[in-house]
Structure 1
Amino acid sequence: MNKLILTVTPNPAVDVTYTVGGIELGSSHRVPAPLHRAGGKGLNVSRVAHQLGHATLAIATAGGPTGEQLRRDLEAAGIAHHLVPVAAATRRTVALVETAGNNRTSIFNEIGPALSAAEWQQLAAAVVTHLAGVQSSDGVQRPGVLVASGSLPDQAPADFHPALVALAHAAGVPAIIDTSGAGILAAARAGADLLKPNNHELLEATGERSLVQAARVLLGLGAKRVLVSVGEEGMLAFSATTSGYLQAKLPRPLSGNPTGAGDAAVSAAAVALAGGETGLLEILRAATAWSAAAVLMPGAGEISPRYTELAQQLIITEH
């Protein structure tokens, strides 16, 4: 039996994706009905894993009418979940995907409402409960990895990500953290098994000008692996056990919606670690291919069946 991929999304959203030929600032635009989907980076990670047949359980908060909309979408998709009820309404994100010209995607993210101390405690309690195992029709299923992805609500505890890493390690489970700012530094100090910033997040968090040096800062703090998304240049992979690094990229960039590409990469890494794969090359290959396959889909949280074909096209170099 595949081990469970346990994801934590403290700041989920209802994603609203509009497709438009092009955007002229200050003008009105006619658009087709948008795609509404339960989102937030951790939920996207679970959705991709679920699409490919991997067992997953998504832990998130939910509140208000948008929280109910999020719950209904997860149920309709068949994604196992534990939603912690909160007083504030779940936020929304809006993506405007242009299909003409430069294929640009503009994203508007509402700021997540603050949670109460009791709500944070309930979220942590849900993580502890499910790290011990999840009841399924086949018996108790053990998590193989814990993933915490995305931004945190306003006034979040500074030790949230380090605490998750500690809980995962106490349960004998690797931890993947995908966040930004001070949170990624704190997760590195806690010994996260894999961090997944993009190039902008990595440079901003570390204050470095070089991606290589910035990744080395995270490894020096205690992270075991770092994957860095670099847009059309693919992905870089670093390990605390080697002095060099790997780069994977496609021969030509793909056109599409990059909104969920990073989440697909995290999902691939989570599936690999949950299955016992620790090799940096194989993790990088899967993460880059799944990330590229996500660009070909209209909304975040799904990947194109072409991911195996894309994996074979990757150009992987060692530096």
Structure 2
Amino acid sequence: MIVTVTLNAALDITHRVDRLRPHSAHRVRAVGARAGGKGVNVSRVLHALGLPTLVTGLAGGPTGEAVRRELREAELPERLTRIDGETRRTVAVVDEHTGDTTTLLEPGPVVRPDEWRSFLTDFDTCVDRASAVVLSGSLPPGLPEDAYATLVRAARARGVPAILDTSGPALRAALAAGPALVKPNADELAEATGEPDPPPASGRGYPRLALLGAAEALRAAGAEAVVASLGPDGLLAVTPSGAWRAAPPERLRGNPTGAGDAAVAALARGLTAGVSWPRRLADAVALSAAAVAAPLAGSYDPTVHRRLRGAVDVHPLS
């Protein structure tokens, strides 16, 4: 079973409009609401792939109850620790004309020290049954910067590999704990290492040596493997077995929200199955692209996934 941790869970609300125009009123054509947060999205994809998974994290207030209710309806097992603060909401506005998405992210509730200790107790129980742990997303207010480092150490103490998908101080603090894999995007990789900023959400135009050097720096700081997301340009991986670049055969229009979470789900599946790194990366790129083709984060288009999986270009880097 792959356990996912979402410390800053959310109720994701999606509005679809014909065309998004600033400073204007809009008639919403469709509304969707479901449990979200990066770890929840990873569990959704794993569940769709037929793999056992458990959603853990923090949830509170009426919004937290809505998150639990929607997870039950989706038949996703959960063990979310209750807190007093109100679980955050995210609002995504999809422009149907362009396919672009504008997202508003609330910061999340303040978590008290006693609530954090309660979660750690719950986590210890869950990790004993895990084949891998996925730690995803931002930290809500009130949690220490080394929260993920604490969870990585707890998992490693039980021989369970931890996959980390976060950024900023939380990422830097967790490296020394030895996560099995970290998955920053190009911007987060630059932020974590002090390299020059790449273009937003893509490694295009960013010197490949700088990307490799930044990934190697994260490995030197403690991560066993680093897989950097380059947006529509695919993935770059630096691992104990070598370095690779994996690129999709085509670009798909759609909603990129959740594409990185789908890639993490594929990487977690590959890690627990023990498949080669090139196969893991090809699957991650194909599943990420298939998530772009799906309307909501945590979903993917199986037809696109099957079509692209064998066509991803994975080549070694010196």
Shift of 1:168: 0.9
Matched, 1:224 2:224: yes
1:34-63 CA distance string (max 9 Å, x none)? 110100000111111011110001102111
Question: What is the SS of the residue equivalent to 1:34?
Answer: strand
Task: Tell me the equivalent position of 2:10.
Answer: 13
Give yes or no for contact 1:144–1:275 (8 Å, CA) kept in 2.
no
Matched, 1:262 2:260: yes
Matched, 1:108 2:95: no
Give yes or no for contact 2:249–2:308 (8 Å, CA) kept in 1.
no
Normalised by the size of structure 2, how large is the TM-score? 0.92
Task: Tell me the equivalent position of 1:286.
Answer: 283
Question: What is the SS of the residue equivalent to 1:8?
Answer: strand
Q: Where do 1:123-134 residues align within 5 Å?
A: 123-133=119-129
Task: Tell me the equivalent position of 1:50.
Answer: 47
Match among 150, 158, 170 for residue 145 of structure 2: 158
Give yes or no for contact 1:62–1:89 (8 Å, CA) kept in 2.
yes
Question: What is the SS of the residue equivalent to 2:103?
Answer: strand
Letter in structure 2 aligned against 1:94: V
Shift of 1:241: 4.4
Letter in structure 2 aligned against 1:318: P
Task: Tell me the equivalent position of 2:207.
Answer: none
Instruction: Flag the 1:186–1:313 CA change in 2: closer, same or farther, 3 A.
Output: same
Matched, 1:194 2:181: yes
Give yes or no for contact 1:144–1:273 (8 Å, CA) kept in 2.
no
Letter in structure 1 aligned against 2:10: A
Matched, 1:147 2:134: yes
Give yes or no for contact 1:42–1:149 (8 Å, CA) kept in 2.
yes
Letter in structure 2 aligned against 1:144: S
Give yes or no for contact 1:219–1:240 (8 Å, CA) kept in 2.
no
Distance in 2, matches of 1:268 and 1:14, equals 24
Task: Tell me the equivalent position of 2:116.
Answer: 120
1:120-141 CA distance string (max 9 Å, x none)? 01111111001122xxxxxxxx
Question: What is the SS of the residue equivalent to 1:106?
Answer: strand
Give yes or no for contact 2:153–2:177 (8 Å, CA) kept in 1.
yes
Matched, 1:177 2:175: no
Letter in structure 1 aligned against 2:218: L
1:250-270 CA distance string (max 9 Å, x none)? 232110000000000111111
1:148-188 CA distance string (max 9 Å, x none)? 10000013112211111111111111100000001212222
Task: Tell me the equivalent position of 1:83.
Answer: 80
Match among 246, 250, 253 for residue 251 of structure 2: 253
Shift of 1:311: 0.9
Give yes or no for contact 1:15–1:93 (8 Å, CA) kept in 2.
yes
Highest RCO, 1 vs 2 (Cα 8 Å, sep ≥ 6): 1
Normalised by the size of structure 1, how large is the TM-score? 0.92
Cα root mean square deviation, aligned:
1.2
Matched, 1:309 2:316: no
**Number of aligned residue pairs:** 303
Task: Tell me the equivalent position of 1:69.
Answer: 66
Gaps of 5+ in 1: 134-142
Distance in 1, matches of 2:313 and 2:272, equals 25
Give yes or no for contact 1:12–1:43 (8 Å, CA) kept in 2.
yes
Letter in structure 2 aligned against 1:197: P
Question: What is the SS of the residue equivalent to 1:313?
Answer: coil
Task: Tell me the equivalent position of 1:33.
Answer: 30
Match among 90, 110, 113 for residue 93 of structure 1: 90
Distance in 1, matches of 2:295 and 2:63, equals 21
Task: Tell me the equivalent position of 2:297.
Answer: 300
Give yes or no for contact 1:18–1:34 (8 Å, CA) kept in 2.
yes
Task: Tell me the equivalent position of 1:276.
Answer: 274
Distance in 1, matches of 2:281 and 2:96, equals 29
Distance in 2, matches of 1:252 and 1:162, equals 37
Distance in 2, matches of 1:22 and 1:238, equals 41
Question: What is the SS of the residue equivalent to 2:216?
Answer: helix
Distance in 2, matches of 1:99 and 1:316, equals 33
Distance in 2, matches of 1:309 and 1:93, equals 32
Match among 197, 200, 207 for residue 194 of structure 2: 207
Give yes or no for contact 1:285–1:311 (8 Å, CA) kept in 2.
yes
Question: What is the SS of the residue equivalent to 2:13?
Answer: strand
